[in-house]
């Protein structure tokens, strides 16, 4: 039980990268890096009491540096998901961003937070061990206004919940929309595709998006479509159906409107009959991107020499709606100068009864 720190490796610039391992009394483990505040390992008990590592990752810093388009376990910032046309206007001023996804901005741009060195600000070693990674993002970093102080705290509770708490503040009005990009596979990261695992999402609608995954502004009911996860369905059941949304997303890569209350609530779940593991996701944000690893190319050697095939992990990216800045009707990820942004995501693990 507690926190263990070890040297993990070095960046190509020679910075020393450490790994922080949190362990609770049940033996559940979460390991994070100060490089990218990445969640690298998450070991949870299965129905036989064996521990499975349920997230994708690499065994070296180089792995993360070389593969910068899959974002395994990454902390995404300053703005998760897409901003159309890679620019936005705030108080009459235009801010150009990196066009790193066609002509659009994705996950902040080329120099995302997932490749930055974070500082460990605080560690609490008790029965709910936690570690807080902080980052200073200067004014115009990635093109966004304001000097921003950002931190993410990972905490492992006694009831097998990994809690991610974000806090950020800028000295100017700016966009802040961080998320975590972990790929979950409840049969273990090495086990192949997630097509036979079941998803449930507490959402009646999703944001309709065009072929570039940019929302049109329309919220579309999931009723009668392969997008409906209000009850459990396997990921594979409908993923290859003839359907425009699935065609545009290459599978599931969509933002669900998770019945927003502004408060912490259960928004989704993933379960596997094979391992008997249930993961429940809670968030206080209005959106969640369900992404089924459609762009994993099968050419990456991950932890333990495992090669991850296409659709071998599923992401539940808690977020403000994509491109919200161009849709005043969406809840805005815009924070005033000196206003604190706070948000929490929880992944709770248990055994199916
Ligand atoms: C997000 C996007 C996807 C894809 C992945 C990274 O989840 O929505 O389209 O870009 O990141 O591969």
* Torsion of Cα atoms, 180 then 66 then 35 then 80, to 10°: -30
Q: Which pTM was predicted?
A: 0.98
Could you count the other beta carbons within 10 Å of the beta carbon of residue 304? Answer: 10
Q: Are strands 265-271 and 119-124 parallel, antiparallel or unpaired?
A: unpaired
Could you name the CATH architecture of 2-351? Distorted Sandwich (2.70)
**Ligand 1: which of 72, 82, 106 to mutate, judged by most atoms within 8 Å of the beta carbon?**
106
Per-residue pLDDT in tens (0 to 9) along the chain, 353 residues: 799 999 999 999 999 999 999 999 999 999 999 999 999 999 999 999 999 999 999 999 999 999 989 999 999 999 999 999 999 999 999 999 999 999 999 999 999 999 999 999 888 888 899 999 999 999 999 999 999 999 999 999 999 999 999 999 999 999 999 999 999 999 999 999 999 999 999 999 999 999 999 999 999 999 999 999 999 999 999 999 999 999 999 999 999 999 777 899 999 999 999 999 999 999 999 999 999 999 999 889 999 999 999 999 999 999 999 999 999 999 999 999 999 999 999 999 999 98
Catalytic status, residue 181: yes
- Per DSSP, helices labelled H in the chain are 61-66, 244-249
Ligand 1 touching residue 253 (CB < 6 A): yes
Token digits of residue 45: 């008990």
**Strand 179-180 and strand 75-76: pairing?**
antiparallel
Distance between CA 32 and CA 154 in Å, rounded?
A: 8
If you measure from the C-alpha of residue 92 to the centroid of ligand 1, how many angstroms do you get, rounded to a whole number? 30
Spatial CB neighbours of 180, under 8 Å, sequence gap ≥ 6 = 39, 73, 74, 75, 76, 164, 317, 318, 345
Contacts of the segment 237-246: beta carbons below 8 A, 24+ positions apart: 239/195, 239/292, 239/311, 245/206, 245/208, 245/209, 245/220
pLDDT confidence of residue 259: 77
Q: If you take atom 5 of ligand 1, which residue's CA is the nearest one?
A: 70
Residues whose CB falls within 8 Å of the CB of residue 223, separated by 6 or more in sequence, listed in order = 204
Q: Is 315 near ligand 1, meaning CB less than 6 Å away?
A: yes
Q: Atom 12 of ligand 1 has which residue's CA nearest to it?
A: 70
DSSP tag of 141 = G
Ligand 1 contact, 267 CB (< 6 A): no
Please pick, among 181, 189, 198, 282, the residue that the annotation labels catalytic: 181
Query: What whole-number distance in Å separates Cα of residue 144 and Cα of residue 93?
Result: 11
In the reported structure, the alpha carbon of residue 132 is separated from the centroid of ligand 1 by a whole-number distance in angstroms of: 25
Angle at the Cα of 329 from the Cα atoms of 325 and 330, rounded to 5 degrees: 55
Structure token pair of residue 351: 């055994």
Ligand 1 close to Cβ of residue 150 (< 6 A): no
**Torsion of the alpha carbons at 256, 98, 249 and 183, rounded to the nearest 10:** -70
Distance CA 25, CA 200 (A): 29
The candidate with the shortest Cα–Cα distance to 346, out of 284, 276, 273, 286, is 284
Note if 317 is an active site residue.
Answer: yes
Exactly one of 29, 198, 282, 317 is catalytic; name it: 317
140-169 as b/e: b if 16+ CB within 10 A: ebbbbbbebebbbbbbbbeebbbbbbbbbb
Contact 219/204 with Cβ under 8 angstroms?
no
289 lines ligand 1 (CB under 6 A): yes
Which atom of ligand 1 is the closest one to the Cα of 291? Answer: 7
Distances (CA, A) of 323 to 88, 145, 208: 9, 17, 12
């Amino acid at each position: 039980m507690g926190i263990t720190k070890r040297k993990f490796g070095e960046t190509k610039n020679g910075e020393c990268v450490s790994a922080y391992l949190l362990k609770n009394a049940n033996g559940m483990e979460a390991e994070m890096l100060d490089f990218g505040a990445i969640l690298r390992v998450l070991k949870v008990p299965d129905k036989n009491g064996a521990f499975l590592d349920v997230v994708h990752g690499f065994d070296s810093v180089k792995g993360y540096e070389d593969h910068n388009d899959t974002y395994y376990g990454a902390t995404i910032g300053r703005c998760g998901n897409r901003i159309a046309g890679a620019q936005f206007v705030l108080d009459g001023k235009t801010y150009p961003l990196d066009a790193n996804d066609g002509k659009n901005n994705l996950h902040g741009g080329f120099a995302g937070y997932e490749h930055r060195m974070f500082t460990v600000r605080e560690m609490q070693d008790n029965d709910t061990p936690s570690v807080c990674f902080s980052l200073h993002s200067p004014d115009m970093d990635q093109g966004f206004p304001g000097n921003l102080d950002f931190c993410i705290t990972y905490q492992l509770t006694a009831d097998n919940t990994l809690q991610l708490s974000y806090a950020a503040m800028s000295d100017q009005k700016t966009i802040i929309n961080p998320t975590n990009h972990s790929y979950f596979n409840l049969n273990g990261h090495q086990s192949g595709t997630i097509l036979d695992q079941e998803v449930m999402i507490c959402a009646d609608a999703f944001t309709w998006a065009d072929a570039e995954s940019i929302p049109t502004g329309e919220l579309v009911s999931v009723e009668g479509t392969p997008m409906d996860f209000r009850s459990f369905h396997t990921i594979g059941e409908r993923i290859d159906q003839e359907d425009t949304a699935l065609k545009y997303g290459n599978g599931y890569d969509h933002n669900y409107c998770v019945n927003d209350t502004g408060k912490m609530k259960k928004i989704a779940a993933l379960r596997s009959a094979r391992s008997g593991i249930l993961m429940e996701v809670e968030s206080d944000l209005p959106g969640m991107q369900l992404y089924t690893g459609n762009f994993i190319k099968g050419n990456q050697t991950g932890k333990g020499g495992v090669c991850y095939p296409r659709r071998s992990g599923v992401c539940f990216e808690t977020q403000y709606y994509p491109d919200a800045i161009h849709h005043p009707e969406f809840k805005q990820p815009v924070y005033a100068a000196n206003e604190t942004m706070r948000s929490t995501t929880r992944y709770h693990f248990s055994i199916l009864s």
